[in-house]
Amino acid sequence: MENGRYFTAKIDPGKHTFRSNDQQSGVALDLKAGQEYFLRVEIATGMLKGHGRLVLTAPEQGRFEVKAGLKPLDEGKVADRTRVSVEEAKFDYPLPAPAKTATATQQQAQPLPQEPAVREVVLSDTPAPTDSQTSLGDAARTARQKKQASGNSAVSNPQ
């Protein structure tokens, strides 16, 4: 997947695990009907090459990033066209309300509604905007680098 691209996928409600080429990380989600989920692919450095790390993004942030200029993935890069769409995402409807949790007695008293398929999941490999929001992983990496840099400068050459 190229930088600055995205695609949407229609996925049935339920538990799913999403992975990229980094087999040591992924995102496990219990998808709810009618909800939108956005996953960003961030490139993490490795020994010989970088690998994609998936990061769950808030729907408001995901919509913003897609509208900010991401382009749909090239059609030739899609293997499963029954679930994956490379059409331009249209957000002409408001964000779905978060799923409400009912108490156990309410759940027993009311029949369960039929759940439609999940509206869409968007994956993108665009890095997060460079504003004041930093991912937890980036913050930890920056702190480690600062600690290593200060540890190296604290060691003097005694002669």
CB within 8 Å of 3: residues ≥ 6 apart: 125, 126
Mean pLDDT of 145-152: 73
Mean pLDDT of 47-74: 86
Nearest CA to 20 among 124, 95, 90? 124
- The share of the chain scoring above pLDDT 70, in percent, equals 67
Q: Return d(Cα 135, Cα 114) in angstroms, integer.
A: 36
Residue 12 confidence class, pLDDT cut points 50, 70, 90: very high
Mean pLDDT of 24-40: 89
Nearest CA to 16 among 34, 37, 1? 37
At 61 the pLDDT is: 92
At 119 the pLDDT is: 58
Question: Contact, 75 vs 86, CB < 8 A?
Answer: yes
User: Higher confidence at residue 139 or residue 78?
Assistant: 78
